[in-house]
Amino acid sequence: MHLLGDAELIESHWHFGCHSDELRKEGDYLLYRIGQYDVALYHDGKEVVAFDNRCPHRGARFFDAPAGSARAVCQYHGWSFTEGRLVIPFEGDLMPGCPKPQLNRYRTEWCGTLLFFAIDPKAELIEQLGEDLFALLESLSFDFRTRKDLNQYVYECPWQVSVENALEPQHLPYVHKETLNKLELINCQNRVWGANSGVYFEIGDVAIQRGLSRIVRFYDRGNDVHPGYMSLYLFPFCFISSTAGTSYSVQSFFPRAEGGTWFASRLYSVRLSDPRHEAADAALISATMETNRRVFEEDHAICKRISQNAWKRSLDGPLYLIEEKVLTFRKLLHKPTSPTQTAGRDSYD
């Protein structure tokens, strides 16, 4: 069995894009750099679309910033895209016999209020996630309100190292001593949906537990919220995490064509039960944003100590029992795999 290449994983799977509020108005856009692809998610005035962020005329980028609001107009020769149509100035002056110009578009699918995109998927989104996980994400998505933070930069390590780091809690006392480890996560419960998985913890710190019990009433949350800490892994590149459903954090660890990992993290607020809780929610979001950024910096600092060669040499090395999902991840990378997943099951550490 061969080690699956980055291009295989990128092209054949669906990837998290955004929450519907991020592309609510005409001209709103987001960019993703994933392998050799530069993907734009864009509200074209009619619907949200995904396309190659390069003009089909001479290849100039439509957008440069990671997020914003602007018309999809090529600054080179004025070609534009609106309401599903490529608009070409002086179209009649194109050379006879040249290929019909068209934007290179990609597929999009919604799971509740969450948008996913794909280059050339080998299965439908619901098949890749599995019906149970799709239903869970759909339910949780309606708790999302607004993106409060967009944090992205290059992790100087292989993307596989970044994912493995996020899959196991063994490093928390050493890497996140003053941040995430303060939750004192206990009673780990794993769930598996084919290649996807979730981990659920109770919060052992009594003071934090009491604080959460006072503020959760501020939020209008659905029935599928976990009262402790939850992290969902959507194979191959995405994680969605939350503490008691008071906010949601989404991370993507995309391979870079130049090497390393293109890391992107989004923090979303949650619907309030009463507008009078806005001030308290703003304070909590601010604290969560600061903590999240520190946690990701700590992760980056340790992950960049591991080179591609060192990671490959570790594939047959020792693992702790609690690193079971790292082993599962490595097995998935070492065999031809279809995005179609099986039903979920529970397991306990």
Phi (first) and psi of residue 340, to 5 degrees: -65, 130
Fill in the DSSP letter of residue 139: H
Q: What is the dihedral of CA 194, 198, 199, 201, to 10 degrees?
A: -140
Q: Cα–chain-centroid distance for residue 314? A: 26
Task: Specify the pLDDT at position 343.
Answer: 45
In the chain, count H helices and then E strands: 9, 18
pLDDT number for residue 3: 78
Q: Residue 155, Cα to own-chain centre: how many angstroms? A: 15
- Exposure string of 282-295, with b = 16+ CB inside 10 Å and e = fewer, is eebbeebbebbeeb
Fold for the domain defined by 144-348: Naphthalene 1,2-dioxygenase Alpha Subunit; Chain A, domain 1 (3.90.380)
Domain ranges of the chain: 1-122, 144-348
Alpha helical stretches, state H, the chain: 6-12, 125-129, 131-141, 159-167, 172-175, 206-215, 278-303, 308-313, 324-333
What residues form DSSP beta bridges with 222?
A: none
Give the per-residue pLDDT at 340: 55
10 Å Cβ neighbour count for 281?
A: 21
pLDDT of 100: 87
Sheet containing strand 14-19, edge to edge, reads 14-19, 114-118, 105-111, 48-52, 37-43, 28-34, 67-69
pLDDT per position in the chain (349 positions), as tens? 467 899 999 999 999 999 999 999 999 999 999 999 999 999 999 999 999 999 999 999 999 999 999 999 999 999 999 999 999 999 889 999 888 899 999 999 999 999 999 999 999 999 999 999 999 999 999 999 999 999 999 999 999 999 999 999 999 999 999 999 999 999 999 999 999 999 999 999 999 999 999 999 999 999 999 999 999 999 999 999 999 999 999 999 999 999 999 999 999 999 999 999 999 999 999 999 999 999 999 999 999 999 999 999 999 899 999 999 999 999 999 866 555 544 444 443 3
- With a CB cutoff of 8 Å and minimum separation 6, the contacts of 273 are 217, 218, 219, 220
Cα-based distances in Å from 310 to 62, 156, 161, 329: 38, 14, 10, 17
* 3-state helix/strand/coil string of 265-327: EEEEEECECCHHHHHHHHHHHHHHHHHHHHHHHHHHHHHCCCCHHHHHHHHHCCCCHHHHHHH
φ, ψ at 210 (rounded to 5°): -65, -40
Whether 245 contacts 212, CB under 8 Å: no
CATH of domain 1-122: 2.102.10.10
Alpha helix ranges (H) inside 6-76: 6-12
pLDDT for the residue numbered 336: 61
For residue 334, what pLDDT is reported?
85
Nearest to 289 by CA among 329, 325, 348, 246: 246
The DSSP output letter for 119 is S
What's the order of all strands across the beta sheet hosting 85-87? 72-73, 80-82, 85-87
Q: What is the pLDDT, as a whole number, of residue 90?
A: 92
Mapped onto helix, strand or coil, the DSSP state of residue 221 is coil
Residues near 329 by beta carbon (within 8 Å), at least 6 away in sequence: 160, 163, 164, 167, 235
* Residues making up the chain, counted from first to last: 349
Residue 212 β-bridge partners: none
Question: Residue 87's pLDDT is what?
Answer: 95
What pLDDT, on a 0 to 100 scale, did the predictor assign at position 349?
A: 38
